[in-house]
Structure 1
Amino acid sequence: MLVIIAIASVIANTGWRVVMNNFAVDTVGMTGADVGALQSVREIPGLLSFTVLFLLFIASEQRVAVLSVATLGLGVAVTGYLPSIYGFYFSTTIMSIGFHYLEAVNKSLSTQLLATENFSESMGKIRSAASFFSMVTFLGIMVASYLFDVSDKVIFFTCGLICFSLAAYLVTFQDTSTEVKQHTKLIIRREYTTYYILTFLSGARRQIFVAFAGLLMVTKFQYSISMMAALFMVSSLAATLALPYVGRFIDRVGERLALIIEYAALVLVFLSYAFVDDHYAAAGLYVIDSIIFSFALALNTYFKKTIREDEVASTASLSFTINHIAAVFLPFLLGIIWMSGYQWVFVTGSVIALISLFVSLTMGTQLHQWINGFDRLQKQ
């Protein structure tokens, strides 16, 4: 079930990501500021993802996940039929509601159903399977675009339809219940402070990659749809191969060291984005960025070890809200900054990664205990 959910989500999101920049620039006629605004609109449902708790009053997490997959597919499928700025905003909002509600409940389901001792490895295998189908989607889009000149409307519709069909198949699965009854109210604890901070910073720097790394390829290096598909396919292949090994590495060395490695590498990658002039080097940075993103499994492992068993669903939905606080306003502001100098967008990303590095260095120290206000650890 978790694998099929991941595959459905990645097919819809892959189709949207590959085409959206070309669709925005070539079909809709959007500027960098417009794309930044679009990304902010896309993240508003993420900011409100804590409201998924209301759905849990009337349906199980598994049923909410299936409904979210269907909504994601529907939003992507209709995108090409609304070729205007406000039409793009509308379809993006629909797909975003499905995506963010899905991520909130899927994180909770994964945390409850997968064992702690090999959690990162299991998550790595699930994401590796998803990355493989993402790569297949990239290849399909590249062939369809390059050889058959398929329109962006068809690509949006096909990827959305596949996602929606998989949601229909998931309806046939027996509902899976967990032994621990989950709270359906919003819970905030001081002992989760470090997780909240890292989640907030993760949302901020992730938006710079999602919103502007692809835009850099299209606007500065004139990548076509087929070239973007090829780039995404290569980065997806790299992630597919790396994820199982990254998961085992995190289980072996611990989430603290893994997060330190991730954030230190991101500082260098973002700075390189700001000053790269060769499109091959830029593509290489994109692939490296995708591999580094695999280390985000470490934050999920930290979540698994830190959150109380009956507060997983509540904290997962809250974490997505925290993750998207910066994501709502940051793309819009950086879109404006982009117009006067794209380099500053990526310099901002390196600063955010550097702050994340400093926070991860405090994990397991006296400062970490002070930040969390977790006096029991201090006494021990």
Structure 2
Amino acid sequence: MTPVPLHEARALPIWRRPRTLLFMMAIAMPLSFATWSALLNNFVIEVADFDGGDIGWLHTVREIPGFLAIGVILVIMVMREQVLALLSLALLGVATAVTAWFPTMGGILFITLFSSIGFHYYETVNQSLQLQWLRKEVAPQVLGWLIAAGSGATLVAYGLIVMTWEAFGLSYNTVYMASGGVTLLIVAYCALAFPQFESPNPQVKKFILRKRYWLYYALQFMSGARRQIFVVFAGFMMVERFGFEVHEVTALYLINLVANMVIGPVFGRAVFKFGERNTLTFEYIGLVGVFLLYGGIYWFGWGVLLASILYVVDHMFFAMALALKTYFQKIADPGDIAPTAAVAFTINHIAAVFLPAALGVLWLVSPGSVFLLAAGMAATSLCLALLIPRHPEPGNETIFCRMQAAPAE
């Protein structure tokens, strides 16, 4: 099949256009990944008797493919990014579907690794396709709507779990099979319904690490380190400390999804109106407060209501990560997007490889200290965000560029 250039794709029916494909994939991915995440803490505690140290090791294994996302550069030498995105989604769907078939610690680590390969390679390529296919002037708004679309699809899945888990005595295997199967059906539709799209700027298919992207790399590193504490320990706390059951954890996820459906497009407009620096500054100030309050739950015995509110607020801040994408889109050479997406994903996961296991040990001694460390990471991210110029572009990647360009007095 001859690839369709992006400028010609506008003549296609709306259901076959690039932006529609992005929305279909945005719906397919969380149906598997978010369902897996919602059931994970209960599954590993009830089935494999995990403690804080075990969950740390599981997430360390889960993040190894993210650290190796730079391998995407090698794959796209022989495979189109669009094809790789769909194959990665298919792997994620299959691995999710069979998760309950591996009820031991070794089995869970094994299937988690394969699921993670699909997830991280998809996320790497998907970010690249988004930034290549969306024009700069509409990217923040469309990225916000993509967040809302994924949240809306997952809302349906979680609603079904909450309503049917106890009423019909569902098993982990039933839910995992259903969520992974629906992802596979969407992948099959995308493969058949959409042509291959040709991006206007050929991508550099080799490893690149450019000095002028250093601030983007640093923000990605801190984002990955900080995210691990929420992903690994915030949900685990709700089950271990407060005894949340599957339907209760899923109900909390439902609240997060509704919030993201509303907030995602709002954040997209906020990035467009206020810029990446102001948006990220707001996010990181909020995260410092959230993580300090998480620590207070352990140090001062604050209750489940506060923990639940913080969990929702913390999750909402994730939607603001689209500002980091648009910051890079504005400063990048058009041909750098695919290889830099792979490099950035690897940088994002450097800390993720060792941090969950290390913090799992600290968790056994002082859970509150884990969240205090996260607050320090958020504060570091805040300092870095203040280095973003008001109008980033090639040659004006940080505020230091403006200072260097200013004439001497």
Q: 1:363 aligns with which of 388, 397, 402?
A: 388
Q: 1:56 aligns with which of 76, 79, 83?
A: 76
Alignment of 1:173-188 (within 5 A): 173-188=194-209
Q: Note the alpha carbon deviations across 1:103-127, whole angstroms, 9 max, x for none.
A: 1100000001111112111100111
Q: 1:96 aligns with which of 96, 116, 122?
A: 116
Counterpart in 1 of 2:24?
Answer: 4
Counterpart in 1 of 2:342?
Answer: 317
Matched, 1:267 2:293: no
Q: Which amino acid aligns with 1:211?
A: V
The answer (yes or no) to whether the contact 2:229–2:370 under 8 Å persists in 1 is yes
**Distance of 2:401 and 2:151 partners within structure 1:** 41
Q: 1:129 aligns with which of 124, 140, 149?
A: 149
TM-score by length of 2: 0.90
Counterpart in 2 of 1:69?
Answer: 89
Q: Which amino acid aligns with 1:342?
A: P
**Distance of 1:244 and 1:132 partners within structure 2:** 12
Counterpart in 2 of 1:278?
Answer: 303
**Distance of 2:332 and 2:161 partners within structure 1:** 40
Matched, 1:256 2:281: no
Counterpart in 2 of 1:292?
Answer: 317
Range 131-140 or range 206-215, more displaced: 131-140
- Name the % identity: 38
- How many residue pairs align between the two structures? 377
Counterpart in 2 of 1:347?
Answer: 372
Pairwise CA distance, 1:60: 0.8
Q: Which amino acid aligns with 1:43?
A: E
Q: Note the alpha carbon deviations across 1:12-51, whole angstroms, 9 max, x for none.
A: 0111011110011110111110000000000000000010
**Distance of 1:153 and 1:118 partners within structure 2:** 41
Pairwise CA distance, 1:362: 2.1
**Local SS of the residue matching 2:202:** coil
The answer (yes or no) to whether the contact 2:69–2:346 under 8 Å persists in 1 is yes
Structure 1 runs (4+) greater than 3 angstroms displaced: 369-377
Alignment of 1:316-335 (within 5 A): 316-335=341-360
Q: CA RMSD in A?
A: 1.7
After superposition, the Cα gap between the structure-2 partners of 1:376 and 1:360, relative to the gap in structure 1 and judged at 3 Å, is closer
The answer (yes or no) to whether the contact 2:331–2:396 under 8 Å persists in 1 is no
Pairwise CA distance, 1:56: 0.7
**Distance of 2:144 and 2:397 partners within structure 1:** 30
Counterpart in 1 of 2:6?
Answer: none
Pairwise CA distance, 1:256: 0.3
Q: Which amino acid aligns with 1:78?
A: V
The answer (yes or no) to whether the contact 1:7–1:129 under 8 Å persists in 2 is yes
The answer (yes or no) to whether the contact 1:190–1:372 under 8 Å persists in 2 is no
After superposition, the Cα gap between the structure-2 partners of 1:370 and 1:63, relative to the gap in structure 1 and judged at 3 Å, is closer
The answer (yes or no) to whether the contact 2:221–2:351 under 8 Å persists in 1 is yes
Counterpart in 2 of 1:226?
Answer: 247
Pairwise CA distance, 1:157: 1.4
Q: 2:179 aligns with which of 159, 164, 177?
A: 159
Gaps of 5+ in 1: none
The answer (yes or no) to whether the contact 2:284–2:379 under 8 Å persists in 1 is yes
The answer (yes or no) to whether the contact 1:65–1:102 under 8 Å persists in 2 is yes
**Distance of 1:339 and 1:58 partners within structure 2:** 46
The answer (yes or no) to whether the contact 1:14–1:137 under 8 Å persists in 2 is no
Q: Note the alpha carbon deviations across 1:212-233, whole angstroms, 9 max, x for none.
A: 1100000001000000010000
The answer (yes or no) to whether the contact 1:66–1:171 under 8 Å persists in 2 is yes
**Local SS of the residue matching 1:116:** coil
Counterpart in 1 of 2:10?
Answer: none
The answer (yes or no) to whether the contact 1:75–1:94 under 8 Å persists in 2 is yes
Gaps of 5+ in 2: 1-20
Counterpart in 2 of 1:240?
Answer: 261
Larger Cα-atom Rg: 2
TM-score by length of 1: 0.96
Q: Which amino acid aligns with 2:197?
A: T
Pairwise CA distance, 1:370: 11
**Local SS of the residue matching 1:115:** coil
**Local SS of the residue matching 1:357:** helix
The answer (yes or no) to whether the contact 1:190–1:374 under 8 Å persists in 2 is no
The answer (yes or no) to whether the contact 1:236–1:290 under 8 Å persists in 2 is no
After superposition, the Cα gap between the structure-2 partners of 1:363 and 1:373, relative to the gap in structure 1 and judged at 3 Å, is closer
Counterpart in 1 of 2:405?
Answer: 379
The answer (yes or no) to whether the contact 1:129–1:240 under 8 Å persists in 2 is yes
